[in-house]
Structure 1
Amino acid sequence: MYSIVDIETTGNGHKGQKITEISIFVFDGTIVVNEFTSLVNPEQNIPPFITNLTGITNAMVRNAPRFFEIAKKVQEITKDTIFVAHNVNFDYNIIKDEFASLGFNFNRKKLCTVRLSRKIIPGLQSYSLGNICTNEGITINGRHRAKGDAEATTELFRRLLARDNSFIINSFLNPRSRQATLPPLLDKKEVDSLPETFGVYYFKNTAKEIIYVGKANNIKQRVISHFYDKKKKERELCMETAHISYSETGSELLALLLESSEIKNKYPKYNRSQKNNNSAIGLFSYEDQKGVVHLAFNKIKLTPNPIATFYSLTECRNFLEKLCATYTLCPKYCHLQTNVKQCFHHQLKECKGVCCGKETVTNYNIRVKEAIQSISLTGKNLVLKEKGRFENEIGFALILDGFYQGFGYLDKDLAASLKKPDEYQFYIQPQKDNRDVQKILATYLKKKQNILNNNLAAKTQKKE
Structure 2
Amino acid sequence: MKDKLFAVIDVETTGGGINGNRLTEVCIVLLKGGEIQDKYTTLINPEKHIPAQITALTGIDNELVENAPKFDEVAKEIEEFMRDAIFVAHNVNFDYNVLRNEFKQLGFDFNRKKLCTVRLSRKLIPGLLSYSLGRLCDSINIPLTNRHRAEGDTDATVILFQRLLSLDTDGQIFNSFLHAHSKQATLPPHLSAEEIHELPEEPGIYLFKDKQHKVIYAGKAINIKKRVLSHFYDKMSKEYLLGQETYYVDHESTGNELIALLLEAEYIRKHYPKFNSAQKRPGITYQIISYINQRGIIQLGIGKTKRIQDSVGTFYNRSLATEKLELICENFKLCPRYCTLQSSMEKCSHYKLKNCEGVCDDSESVSDYNLKVTEAINSLGEEKPTYVIREKGRHFEEEAFILVKEGRYKGYGYLDSEVQIESIEDYEPFLNLQESTFHTHKVLNSYLRKHGEKNVFYFDQLEYA
Q: TM-score range by the shorter chain?
A: 0.7 to 0.9
Paired with 1:92 and 1:430, the residues of 2 have a C-alpha distance of: 47
TM-fit CA distance, 1:267: 2.5
Pairing of 1:147-162 with structure 2 (within 5 A): 147-162=151-166
TM-fit CA distance, 1:40: 1.5
1:264 matches 2:277: no
- Helix, strand or coil: the match of 2:231? helix
Overall identity of the aligned pairs, in %:
43
Name which of structure 1's ranges 146-155 and 161-170 shifts more when overlaid on structure 2. Answer: 161-170
TM normalised by structure 1 equals: 0.81
Q: May I ask how many residue pairs the two structures share in their alignment?
A: 419
Name which of structure 1's ranges 298-307 and 36-45 shifts more when overlaid on structure 2. Answer: 298-307
Pairing of 1:248-263 with structure 2 (within 5 A): 248-263=253-268
Unmatched tracts of structure 1, length 5 or more: 310-315, 342-353, 363-371, 453-464
TM-fit CA distance, 1:38: 1.4
One of 89, 94, 101 as aligned partner of 2:98: 94
- Helix, strand or coil: the match of 2:162? helix
Alignment correspondent of 1:305: 311
The answer as to whether partners of 1:398 and 1:425 remain within 8 angstroms in 2 is no
One of 5, 8, 14 as aligned partner of 2:9: 5
One of 266, 270, 283 as aligned partner of 2:287: 283
Paired with 2:252 and 2:307, the residues of 1 have a C-alpha distance of: 34
* Cα pair distance change 1:261/1:301, threshold 3 Å: closer
Alignment correspondent of 2:129: 125
TM-fit CA distance, 1:104: 1.6
CA RMSD in angstroms comes to: 3.5
* Cα pair distance change 1:298/1:358, threshold 3 Å: closer
- Helix, strand or coil: the match of 1:69? helix
CA deviations on 1:213-238 (whole Å, 9 max, x unpaired) are: 11000001100100011111111110
The answer as to whether partners of 2:186 and 2:233 remain within 8 angstroms in 1 is yes
TM-fit CA distance, 1:86: 0.3
- Helix, strand or coil: the match of 1:100? helix
1:42 corresponds to which letter in structure 2? P
One of 230, 239, 247 as aligned partner of 1:225: 230
Alignment correspondent of 2:447: 444
TM-fit CA distance, 1:357: 3.2
1:196 corresponds to which letter in structure 2? E
1:145 matches 2:116: no
Alignment correspondent of 1:407: 412
Paired with 1:301 and 1:141, the residues of 2 have a C-alpha distance of: 57
1:104 corresponds to which letter in structure 2? F
Alignment correspondent of 1:189: 194
1:48 matches 2:42: no
Paired with 2:95 and 2:18, the residues of 1 have a C-alpha distance of: 19
Alignment correspondent of 2:366: none
The answer as to whether partners of 1:320 and 1:334 remain within 8 angstroms in 2 is no
- Helix, strand or coil: the match of 2:184? coil
Off by >3 Å, runs of 4+ in structure 1: 279-282, 285-289, 291-295, 298-304, 306-309, 321-341, 354-362, 375-378
CA deviations on 1:67-120 (whole Å, 9 max, x unpaired) are: 222221222122111000000011111111222222221100010000000111
* Cα pair distance change 1:97/1:16, threshold 3 Å: same
1:297 corresponds to which letter in structure 2? G
TM normalised by structure 2 equals: 0.81
Paired with 1:152 and 1:336, the residues of 2 have a C-alpha distance of: 74
1:421 matches 2:424: yes
* Cα pair distance change 1:85/1:412, threshold 3 Å: same
The answer as to whether partners of 2:50 and 2:62 remain within 8 angstroms in 1 is yes
* Cα pair distance change 1:300/1:198, threshold 3 Å: closer
Unmatched tracts of structure 2, length 5 or more: 330-335, 357-376, 456-465
- Helix, strand or coil: the match of 1:413? coil
Alignment correspondent of 1:234: 239
TM-fit CA distance, 1:419: 2.3
Paired with 1:79 and 1:332, the residues of 2 have a C-alpha distance of: 78
- Helix, strand or coil: the match of 1:150? helix
Asked which structure has the greater CA Rg, the reply is 2
Alignment correspondent of 1:366: none
The answer as to whether partners of 1:23 and 1:150 remain within 8 angstroms in 2 is yes
